[in-house]
Structure 1
Amino acid sequence: MLFDTHLHIVDRQALDYPWLSGAGDLNQDNLYDDYARDALRCGISNVLHMEVDVAPARIDDETNYVREISRRAGSLVRGVIAACRPEENGFADYLERSLADPFVKGFRRVLHVAADDTAARPLFRENIRRLSATRMSFDLCVFPYQFETVLALVDHCPDVCFILDHCANPPIKDGMDDVWRNGIVEFSRRPNVTAKISGVIAYGDLENWSVDSLRPYVEHTIESFGWDRVVWGSDWPVCTLGGGLTPWVAATHALTSGCSAEERDKLYQANAKRIWPM
């Protein structure tokens, strides 16, 4: 069974998404029921909802919207990775409220859509450090040109559990380069970072990607981090741009076909259950 650590639900009637107007084919509703139909067929048993960069004033509304979905009979949703703004003074109070809410499992602030110096700002760094020794994780969604700044953030917060989304957004379409390859190794040297095997089909040829085109990037990430520090995610609905959930799950099984049952289980679900207890 698979634990999906990276589902996005988009409901434009319920929430506001300022970025969607420039998102091309993603500018549409992508609702839980559409996801769940394929997820159940693919053997997905547990899901964390990943924030979708709603308008800042709607962050709490997004969490509550997903909470209601989790209360439906048979729902796969077990919690949320909530949006946040660590660059702002209100983060400390937001963290305290979130720590009292067991449905919130962690936070994400997408850094490649923020100003380049965001992760280097003292307030941002100190606010992320507030997560030290809490149950909250922090997802890192960054591009290779940001690696140096984000590695410094990780070093500043050695007791924070960081999750590196999408194999750190590798340049699959352009081909392997040393910046990404060496960056993965550097992140893996930080024991408080876990890599998420997700999202990679979005960085290749969307219409003609293959398992072999993804393999070097997925295998390098897993070899660098080891089986105890990798988790799996669908990145739905972004994965629909490259064929959908079912092809990505099939690719995942193909990419790990030569691995042991214990190794596959760690990636598929066991590590996620340890990081985010239900």
Structure 2
Amino acid sequence: MNNRIDSHQHFWKFDPVRDSWIDDSMQKIQRDFLPEDLLPLLQENQFSGCVAVQASQSEDETNFLIELASKNDFIKGIVGWVDLRDKNIAERLSHFSKHKKLKGFRHVVQGEANDFMFREDFRNGISALKTFNYTYDILIFHRQLPAAISLVNDFPEQKFVIDHIAKPDIKSGDFLSWKKGIEQISKYENVSCKISGMVTEANWKSWKPEDLKPYLDVIFENFSVDNLMFGSDWPVLNVASDYTEVVKTLDDYIAKLSIEDQNKIWFKNASSFYSL
């Protein structure tokens, strides 16, 4: 199988002020990560392309990703940032709509208050996405799942995908409230889920594939195989693992599925969700 899509990775030219979330515990990723760094990893692991996701909250970031995608054919899609709270949001989306590789948007809601997704201005922005066929990536901690459930319920026509399985606290093993939220949100047909970002929620130094298994079990028991996609979360994954190990962990877990279902998770679902 050499037709895989990495539905979730990042590029940046490291800036210690803008990228202050990359603190000294994450020294390994305090440097530039650009397309030429990712391409060999994709090729080595049989990936034909990727979706580049915003890492900082500015339109400059969106333009930076558009620029990279215009020069690198293997970047098949972009999830950018725009201020969804802007009262001129339709105008901003219209401005960006000429860029064919720009597929959707994301806000770093994990850094906001738990009730952020109830804000009227934010919801106004979400309501504008559909007109332009834009997707929305939900980046939250598991404690924000109740607000996310309300959001996907109130916008049934909008395509949503949950990043990083909603960031359960794998390191502490706090499981039940996350599981309950996943059981609820997975019932919505407009919601997909990225199998991504798990190793960085586990113990960076000592995690093993069996630490992730209970969480993967919940995801596969609740989401249809048509709504799941692989994302590496490269280069963030480097603080806890490496690209090949993250791919192998999922490969081993889904080996029991049919080839057709494996192909959905590695390729088909990301392609159709983001219209790549």
The aligned counterpart of 1:168 is: 166
The aligned counterpart of 2:9 is: 7
The aligned counterpart of 2:46 is: 43
* 1:145-181 CA-partner distances (Å, limit 9, x unpaired): 1111121111121110000001111121111521100
Q: Residue 238 in 1 paired to residue 236 in 2?
A: yes
The aligned counterpart of 2:18 is: 17
The aligned counterpart of 2:249 is: 251
Of stretches 228-237 and 95-104 in structure 1, the one that deviates more from structure 2 is 95-104
Helix, strand or coil at the partner of 1:37: helix
Helix, strand or coil at the partner of 1:267: helix
Conserved 8 A contact 2:85-2:124: no
Within 5 Å, give how 1:111-130 maps onto structure 2: 111-130=109-128
State the Cα distance separating 1:220 from its structure 2 match: 1.2
C-alpha distance in 2, partners of 1:117/1:88?
Answer: 18
C-alpha distance in 2, partners of 1:67/1:27?
Answer: 23
The aligned counterpart of 2:66 is: 67
Within 5 Å, give how 1:1-278 maps onto structure 2: 1-12=3-14, 17-20=18-21, 22=23, 24-25=25-26, 26-54=29-57, 56=58, 59=59, 61-72=60-71, 75-132=73-130, 134-278=132-276
* 1:91-135 CA-partner distances (Å, limit 9, x unpaired): 221112223321210000010112333211111112201223542
State the Cα distance separating 1:28 from its structure 2 match: 2.2
Conserved 8 A contact 2:163-2:196: yes
Percent sequence identity is: 26
C-alpha distance in 2, partners of 1:83/1:63?
Answer: 6
State the Cα distance separating 1:16 from its structure 2 match: 7.3
Conserved 8 A contact 1:211-1:254: no
State the Cα distance separating 1:209 from its structure 2 match: 1.4
Amino acid at match of 1:2: R
State the Cα distance separating 1:38 from its structure 2 match: 1.4
How many pairs align? 272
* 1:11-49 CA-partner distances (Å, limit 9, x unpaired): 137x97343464642332222212212121011111110
Helix, strand or coil at the partner of 2:103: strand
Report the TM-score, using the length of structure 2 for normalisation: 0.92
Q: CA 1:198 to 1:81, structure 2 compared with 1: closer, same or farther past 3 Å?
A: same
State the Cα distance separating 1:71 from its structure 2 match: 3.8
C-alpha distance in 1, partners of 2:101/2:180?
Answer: 36
Helix, strand or coil at the partner of 2:129: coil
Q: CA 1:170 to 1:20, structure 2 compared with 1: closer, same or farther past 3 Å?
A: closer
Q: Detail structure 1 runs of 4+ shifted over 4 Å in the superposition.
A: none
Conserved 8 A contact 2:42-2:49: no
C-alpha distance in 2, partners of 1:99/1:67?
Answer: 12
Q: CA 1:40 to 1:264, structure 2 compared with 1: closer, same or farther past 3 Å?
A: same
Conserved 8 A contact 1:199-1:239: yes
Helix, strand or coil at the partner of 1:203: coil
C-alpha distance in 1, partners of 2:256/2:55?
Answer: 34
Amino acid at match of 2:69: S
